[in-house]
Chain A
Amino acid sequence: MIESVLLWLFAATALAAAALMLVLRHPMRVALALTATMISLAGIYALLGVHVIAVFQVLIYVGAVMVFMVYAIMLLDVRDRSFTRRYSRMLVPGVAAAVAFVAILAHALWRGLPEAKSAPGVMLFGLKEFSVTFLNEYWLHFELVSVLLVAAVVAALAVIEVGRKHRG
């Protein structure tokens, strides 16, 4: 009972913060709204019983990605036209596209989802099962992702180097 109420509460918080992201003016407030969404999602994951993902959501998203984002916002405290005019020319087509997208997905949802095999909150796989599955069956993906990370680091350094050369 209490789990169900908390699940609704976290989902409502996530949606409200996500909607707030579209109307707030300053990027820092948008970042805080996004952090609220991510923490609510971590709460949903924990309530569902997928504790591994909840921990990683807080560690990676809130701890790394959003801190990096906030750092970039503080570094680039530029006040230009994007502060006085929040929305681009694509406002009406964008809203139309989003409404059409939601309509299509809701139609697909209406036609039926696979049957749920377990109730929310039941602990299905702990860290041990998760790790064994991860490194036994999906080791190739793990390696590919590490290659991707190395490529990202090299690319970030290359981008910075190009900028340095450009300034002389």
Chain B
Amino acid sequence: MLIATSIALFALGLLGVIVRRNVLVMLMCMELMLNGVNLSLVTFAQQQATAAGAVLVLLVFVVAAAEIAIAIPIVLLLVRRKDGLDLDAYAELKG
């Protein structure tokens, strides 16, 4: 049941990243995806009675904190240049 919940959380986060227009909302949906993965890791760690999964979850926490610390300044700069959070304004970032 918890694995199904984690799959649903990850899928909802993926859907949010693809579908929403607001950049901040997309960042939050990425956090939701990380949370879904964490739930599956904790469930497996608990079921298999090992601490390795919990260690991995802690590392994921740190990675999420680092990600948000980088992403927010980038979004701030983009908003200053483009004056908006809309995705279409950033089309020139395409390679």
Contact = CB atoms under 8 A, between A and B. Distances in A.
A98 interface: yes
B32 A34 contact: yes
- Max chain B CB contacts within 10 Å: which of A21, A93, A106? A21
B47 A118 contact: yes
Interface of B: 1-5, 7-9, 11-16, 18-25, 27-29, 31-32, 35, 38-39, 42-49, 51-52, 54-55, 57-59, 61-70, 72-77, 79-81, 83-89
Given A27-B25, A30-B24, A61-B64, 16 more contacts: A15-B9, A18-B9, A80-B83, A82-B21, A85-B21, A88-B18, A98-B12, A106-B7, A109-B7, A114-B44, A117-B48, A118-B49, A134-B58, A141-B55, A153-B69, A163-B80
18 contacts: A7-B2, A15-B9, A22-B15, A27-B28, A30-B25, A65-B68, A69-B28, A72-B72, A75-B76, A82-B86, A88-B88, A125-B51, A130-B54, A130-B55, A148-B66, A152-B67, A152-B69, A156-B73
